[in-house]
Structures are given as structure tokens and as C-alpha cells.
Structure 1
């Protein structure tokens, strides 16, 4: 088993993140060449597409993981923005705008990546409904400056705009991708090393190598992706040789897999319990406090995750907040009130295999505290709209706190502010909004981390969310595969060097 990375480093404007993991995995040279003759990489992903591969929601991650799409920048292992479609960038007007210089590149339809095409693509993203999570709280405009430069303005200063441009939901597509109704077709219109050529409903997709990729010709001729929501089925597909790479393997399956195929990556992912603050039992802050006090997170980390997780220490945990003495304790929490048999429904999804078991543990703990608890378990594609509409009292979810932009403030904005686009708790608290807004404008790295901790404390003080566990992500990689990407941001699985 590949040893998990343990060294801590700091990005320019980010809280410390576990690094050294964002590298390719190379199987030993003596490994077999694989069972197939074509050399195509067979991948099993955990989440089914929900919006026909629209780049503005969760499907954007599919496009990024499979090497289809990319933005102006990408993140290195330290959380620093580095060049992708943009070669360089400079800040203007005190950080209220940034000028990006584009590299020489082509779209998969053969057209040139021009400043006008990039500005148009980003404008479409800024006008999308709902807005991409990476733009939560940000009013973005983009304009072409000559043939190879793009000016991106945000009104207020945005010191992490280069990191924001790395978000999969802000990937760049050719003008042919957009229709008059606001739809986006990513097939053959992106810029990555692999071109989406066939979509089979929500079960599979085929991708071929894009030989005109600016970063060099990919070593694999293509990718065959399968979307398998059941974690045991993903593990079985890897075990039987039906796939070469399988993401998010269940902890319960690891002992039955070849140890050389199991690879852990430390990430900023956490399992959390969102409580609906707008309606139902948990609109009462006292009942939210009662739920928090009833939960024993050590049971979840030890029994459910079997040592592949740590009991939660705030939203970010040790990966993003290693100096626990600096954490600000939440204040202003309500006094717990007796549940007195109040009925609640907790929702969760199957794509992250441990979540239903976490929900069952919570059900038992909350019932002992006096709640009556019903569980609702679905595939995520059938659950998300109801979660965001507040149709449940609570939701057990798994969230990478650096996923959208590589900046912790962005997740706080999208998940916990009044205008947040992924606000499962439906929280609208002016103290929280002010704390998040203050953190967004801070440019000094140490001061920004302090502002993030202050905003985190304000959020936890509302009991709108109960952090449960901080996770490692386990990826299955066949021993014939070389160059698979182990990304702490969970944005990439395959690249130009991935082969078998």
C-alpha cells in the first residue's frame, strides 16, 4: 500500500494543506502490461452525471478528472495557482482585476484559443443559473484585451482569483459549445488531452486522445469511463480486472483487495452533518445544540472508517488547521433543549460508501438522546435537488473543503452564507456573512488564515453543521497502470502520462 503523505506545507494564500501526494503513481516496471490490447484506461467513477456533463455543477469534476477540460490555471500540491491555459497573470487596481496572458493552444474542435473565446466562456459561467460554487459571492466580468490577453474583474478585490480560475466549473470551452438556451456541450469543445466522444446515458462515457493538446500527446489512446454509484461494485470491478482505476473505495473492501492496488491520499475532505436551519425541528437552535451534544464522533472515525479517518476538529481539521491551539472556539451557541420525541429525517447518499453507515450510527445516537429518526438513502443524483430545497431535517454528506477553488473561504461562502449556492443547511446569519466577507478580502497569508478561523467559529456557533470526521481518500489503481494522479484536491485521476 502506498504510504499516505504526512508533510505539511503552506500555499501563498491558503491555510496549510497536506502535500506531497499530488503526484503520479507508477507501478513497478516488472508489472504486466494489463489484460487489454488497446491501452485504453478503464476508469470507475463514484458519481453518475446529473446534468449531461454541464460544466457548472458537480459534473464539472467528471470532465476534470477525465482530462477533458481545464481552466486558465491549475493548482500544484502546495495549493498555489500555476499556469494552465494562461501562461502568466498580473494583478491590477489593487486586486480588483487581473490580466491573464494566454498560451498558444487549440480547442478540440480545431479552433484557436483566443482572448475573445476565453472571455465569452467565462462570461457564460458568470451568468449561469445557479452560479458555479466557485463564484459564490463574486461578481465576475471578463473582456478580451487584444488577441492573447483577458482581463477579469471582480469589483471588490479578490486576492485568490488565480486560484479561483483553477476551478473545474470555470473551465474554458470553444464558442461552439454554447447554445442560445444557456446549455453547454463539452463534447469536442474543451482543451484537455482527452476528448469526450460518446455519452451512454448516465452509465458510461468514451473519450479519445486529443492529439492537438498544447501540453503534449497523451500516452493512452483513450479512456472508457463507467459511473458506478455502489462502492462495493467499484471495488469488485477493480478486483476482477474490469477497470484499471476506481475512485473512492469503501473502507470495508480494502482488506480483500491486492494491497498493491490500494492508495491513500490525505485530503481536505470531511464528513459532516448539515442541519436544516430554515424549517422543521432544527429551525430551533436549541434542538440543533441537542443534536450536536448527542453525537460521539470517535465512534464514527473508529467503527465506520476503521482508522481511515480522524474525529472531526472543526470544519477543516488537521489538514488545513494544523496548529490546534490557534483554533477559535465557537461562541454564542444556544442551550440544548430536550428533543421530547421530535421526529426528524436524515438524508444521505450511496456514492460515498460509508455515508449510509454513518447515518445509521447517528440515528442510534440521536434516538438515545430523544429524537425519533428516519433515514432517507438515495443515489446522489436523485438527492441533490431535494437537499438544496431543504426537504430534509438533516443530511450526512462528504465535502472537500478546498474543492471549488483551492481557497477555504470559497467553500465557506458557497455552503454557509445567505446567498451561497450549496447551502444545504439553508443558513442565513448576518454574523456569519460578515465574517466570511471579511475573510474574502484579506491578502496576507497569516491574516487570511486567522480570518478563516474566525469565520469557521461563527459558523460552528450556529450549530448549522456538525463536523464528524476528517478523511483520507482511497483510490484503487491496477498494478499495470502507470502515471495515475493522486490529487489531494480530488480534481484529477488521469493525465498525459497515464498509461498501461
Structure 2
């Protein structure tokens, strides 16, 4: 794997030239990113979340690495009863175009998002009302108790704050939003084309003067090409590097793989429970005990990720560490369930081999070594694992375009913004939109429903612990083989770079050398 990666880097060294169009006055240098994901439009509804990640746009609330929520553009978020919330904005906020960010401006964004954004519609309960109750205050009422509101306000695709009037004025000609200053962040959009996004410093930023003159984001789909761009001095930071590149990066002067920041993501294993062999709960229990999670995290993925010890990463305040490797226990469970060792060490029952099809997809290259490790580990317990790579993992799992028993997908136990309720409803509740394994457990359904209307943190923690007991011990159907950490490749100048929680790559203090991560406390 490492030899192949090095040969690709040499090939790209011959042919790769990246040319950024960004030019700023003075001696200051802009921060240059290369990323795999193309920003296709300046439409704030469908593509605006990228602007939050690169320092142009902001949200009402912020989710941080301590697992808690804090006001961002809000000064405060107060709940007066189980249905009523008071949103109070900071004083003196303005869009980059100079317009005031007051209750009327934010309500215009909320109404526009609720009309046009499927994401906002899915995260805000139908029947929720919004009313201006002061110059900087909005009163929100939900039709039933909804503790998930805080996480929804911290989600980049719910209510990204922008100048709704300016967006309406351009119709569908979103290119005209370049230079329109529709956001509130430290950097404003200068231009966007097929190759690059260019941002410049917004001098009037509310939290303080941004440290950089600007930011450029070039779209380079090939991972090797992105890493080489940093090595050749054509970029400062490469986003989304594959973990398999770590040995090559470590051996290359002038570039560094930085990692370790908490992430809400992870590789989720989904079992198809409506067909053999995973319609047998004992086979599911044996499988989850047969995987060596320590080997995957430490040996296969070079300690770049966090070891999975339960359904939630250990840094979350409600995590239960009940996911353990126990090969002997797995063998015993299979023996007692009638799955006996047969030819070539593969178990059989009633003449049927314990054969499973494991699906992965090429967009996540780290799944190749992960799936191969799982294949070898599961064989020790008597499973025969066939690995298949499919172009669209979601299509395969949802529509059965390929036969499958076990699928691996990058989808963490928490949504962007930290919400656990929505993920549990979508993936585990009977009939959930992403319950592709057709799993159903009445006890779990009842726990999830109660969680979705429970505000008290202690009570929520108790419910989440009970949910984890069902998901991992009593009736497993989905689990995680590792938990992601955010990672980037940087040059020497940005050796001390650290992004914010949840893919916030740029904030107003980001610069070469040492700097603090802003917390946006009320001043």
C-alpha cells in the first residue's frame, strides 16, 4: 500500500501544477487550502454550509469538543417552558455588507430556510412558530417538547445566517452573491469558479480583526495530488488526507500529518437483520465480539483514529464502554447457537456456511485496510467474509442493488452539531429512513421516543446508557469499528494549526504559529 502511494506521488510530482488566483496587497500571505469537495454554487441553501467551514458564514449556536453547546451569534438561548424558547442575538452584529443582523433579519433567514431547505424542515418540527418579541429577540414555540432544538441551531445546514433580502434579489443567479457580503464571518466571498473559492478579510468582524488577509480553497479531488501540493509549496493545508498515507508523509520533509481533534464521525457497521445469518441475534453478538477494535485503531490506522470501546466515543459525557473484543466468548456463542466449525475452519449450520458479504466503497480508501483486517479477524471465529466495493454505498444499502449482509459507511453516532436523537431515529427506530437492516426492537423504540422529549441532562444520560446497553449487549445491529479524528496535512508554516470542532477549518484567529481557538464567550 505504501509503495503504491509513493509511486503515485512521484507521478503527480511530474505533472501537477496548481495556480491560485488569490492576490492580496501588502506582505501578508493568504491561507491556501486544497480540498476534495467542490463548492458548486453560492446558493446558501444548498452549498452554504461550506462557507461556515471556511470562515465566511456563522450559526446561531456552536457545538464544541467538550460535547456541549454555546451561543455563537446568539447572546443567549433560554427555554421558558417545555415548548417555548427565547433566542436573543448579540448586540451590534452586522452582515459584511453593513446591514444590521437583528431579529427581523434572522427571522427572514429562518422563514426562507423553512421554505427552501429540506435540512431545516427535517430538523425543525412541523408546526413550530417563530415570532419577533424584541429588536434582538425571537420567540420560538414547538408543538411538543423538542430538546433537539439546540443541536439543530448548531447544525450548519439548518439556519446558516445570511442576508435573505440580498439572496432573494439575485433570484437563481447565485454568482452575483460574490462580493455581496451576505454573511457575518471573518472572511467574505470574493469569487467562486470550478477550481477555487477566494475569500478576503472582513475588517468589521464583530469578534475582532481577522488574522489573515484572505483564504483560498482549491478543489483537487485526488488525495495524492493534494498532499503533493502542500509538499511543493503550492498549498498550506490539505484536507481529508487518507490515513494510509501516514508513513509516506512522516518520511517526507516539510509536510506533517496533524490529527487527533474530536470528531462526531466514525465508520458505522450495519447488519442486515431480516435475512440469514444476521436474523440470528446470537450470530450478531458473536460478530461484535470477534472484531479486534484495538488492532484496527492502533495497527491498521496508525493511532490516527480513536478506538471504538462503545457506541459513542469516550470523550462524550454519556459514553458507555461496553464494546469488547472476546474471541473465545464469540466462539462459545456460535457453538451454542449450532454454528459448528466445518471445512477450512468456516462454521456451518444445517449445511449452510457462515458466509457474509461486506460492502465498502472507494470514496473512503481507508475502508480497504479496515475491511481486510476485519476479514482476517472474523475468520478466526469461523466467519467467511467476502469483501465487495460498490460505487454508491447508500444506494446499495437502501435499495439492495448488491447482495449484502454487512455494510461499512462513514456516518457517526452524532449528527453535525452533536445531535444524537435524530441519528437514533433515522438508523435504529423501527421504520427509520436509514434503518436499512430492517431492525426492530420495541424496547429500543420506547427509549428513543422518550429521549426525544426529555430535557433533563441526567435523565437523558440514563436513557442513552440504556440505549447503548440494547445496541451493543442485548440486541446488536449496528456498531462502530473506529471513531474519526479530524486530520490535515500541513507545511512547516502551519505545523501548529488546529481546526475547530466539526470541520470548522478557519476562524478569525487562524494564522501561522501559535494561536488560541476562539470560544466566542459573550463579552
Sort the TM-score into its range (normalised by shorter chain).
0.7 to 0.9
1:300 equivalent to 2:296? Answer yes
Contact kept, 8 Å, 2:254 with 2:492, in 1: the verdict is: no
1:192 equivalent to 2:185? Answer yes
- Aligned CA distance change for structure 1 residues 452 and 173 (closer, same or farther; 3 Å): same
Equivalences for 1:165-244 in 2 at 5 Å?
Answer: 165-170=153-158, 171-175=160-164, 176-177=166-167, 188=180, 189-201=182-194, 203-244=195-236
2:84 corresponds in structure 1 to 97
Q: CA RMSD in A?
A: 4.1
Per-residue deviation at 1:264?
2.8
Contact kept, 8 Å, 2:277 with 2:354, in 1: the verdict is: no
Higher relative contact order (CA 8 A, sep 6+): 1
1:412 corresponds in structure 2 to 424
1:453 corresponds in structure 2 to 465
Per-residue deviation at 1:293?
5.1
Scaled by the length of structure 2, the TM-score of the pair is: 0.72
- Aligned CA distance change for structure 1 residues 256 and 80 (closer, same or farther; 3 Å): same
Per-residue deviation, residues 419-462 of structure 1 (Å, max 9, x unmatched): 75665656555433321222233333333222112223333454
1:476 to 472, 477, 489: 489
**Distance (Å, rounded) in 1 between the aligned partners of 2:220 and 2:398:** 23
Scaled by the length of structure 1, the TM-score of the pair is: 0.75
- Aligned CA distance change for structure 1 residues 430 and 322 (closer, same or farther; 3 Å): closer
Contact kept, 8 Å, 1:44 with 1:246, in 2: the verdict is: yes
1:75 to 58, 63, 84: 63
Per-residue deviation at 1:161?
3.2
1:106 to 94, 114, 136: 94
Per-residue deviation at 1:376?
1.8
1:21 corresponds in structure 2 to none
Per-residue deviation at 1:173?
2.2
SS across alignment from 1:486: coil
**Distance (Å, rounded) in 1 between the aligned partners of 2:130 and 2:222:** 41
1:347 equivalent to 2:337? Answer no
Per-residue deviation at 1:98?
1.0
- Aligned CA distance change for structure 1 residues 472 and 465 (closer, same or farther; 3 Å): same
SS across alignment from 2:241: coil
2:445 corresponds in structure 1 to 433
SS across alignment from 2:452: helix
1:464 to 477, 481, 484: 477
**Distance (Å, rounded) in 1 between the aligned partners of 2:113 and 2:396:** 24
1:373 to 386, 402, 414: 386
SS across alignment from 1:320: coil
Q: What are the ranges of 5 or more consecutive residues in structure 1 without an aligned counterpart?
A: 1-35
1:121 corresponds in structure 2 to 109
**Distance (Å, rounded) in 2 between the aligned partners of 1:141 and 1:257:** 56
- Aligned CA distance change for structure 1 residues 462 and 140 (closer, same or farther; 3 Å): farther
- Aligned CA distance change for structure 1 residues 229 and 497 (closer, same or farther; 3 Å): same
